Amino acid sequence: MSTLLTILDAFDDLPQARNLREHTYQALGDTVVDVGCGGGRAVGELAARGVRAIGIDLDPTMIEIAIERWPTGEFHVADATALPLDDGSVTGYRADKVLHTLAEPDRAVVEARRVLARNGRAVLVGQDWDTFVIDSDDPERTRTLIHTRADNMPNPQVARRYRNLLLDNGFVNVTVEVHTIVWTDATCLPMLATIGEGAWLDDQAARARDDRLFVAVPIFLSSGTRAD
């Protein structure tokens, strides 16, 4: 299993993350595309509710895993900016923790509008990679590590732009919410290992053993309706 999938699974298993995921499913209608579906959990959960759920991911390995885990879903290897769907063919569009990986996230939102039917709903979800909150004995080092990790991504701050991306690309009734995910145990250590290593990571592991670890990540959720 890939490190990324291990991190995603650990995140998705959190009660806070499950509640947030359920919240994103509201008012998506009966045909939903989940862009950047990863291991396919959202697709599987939507399909279990009787929704035609379509998972899209650029990584063929992720799609293979998703098909194995969630055989009731429909999955395709495709780019977020070129979905294998007809115009107006879905009632709901969901992109969770994916737009920060795109050099041109605007193109993905344009594509969302194309595939959505009249009054279809788009939901964008993800973290701003500059706003991780990590308790540490070396706050300066921690701040540097967080910003260095963010700088290695195509669009680390795109979550703060979700509202404007929707407004600028033909969506109305746009709303924004912030939901904070909190870790206080070792389940977040694989994620922290993507930020720092050595003595810094050892300190975080010791904090987890001593029940003194604290990590908080604000998750931004913006939604809007496709305007005619």
pLDDT band with cut points at 50, 70 and 90 for residue 7? confident
Task: For each of the domains in the chain, give its residue range(s) and CATH number, in order of start.
Answer: 3-126+154-179+221-226 (3.40.50.150)
d(CA 163, CA 117): 20
Q: Exposed, middle or buried: residue 10 (CB in 10 Å: 0-12, 13-18, 19+)?
A: middle
pTM of the model: 0.94
Q: Which two tokens stand for residue 43?
A: 């697709």
As a whole number of angstroms, the distance between CA 212 and CA 13 comes to: 21
What proportion of the chain, given as a percentage, has pLDDT over 90?
Answer: 92
Q: Is the pLDDT assigned to residue 133 strictly greater than 90?
A: yes
Q: What angle do CA 77, 52, 100 make, to 5 degrees?
A: 45
For the chain, how many residues are written?
Answer: 228
Q: Over the chain, what is the mean pLDDT?
A: 95
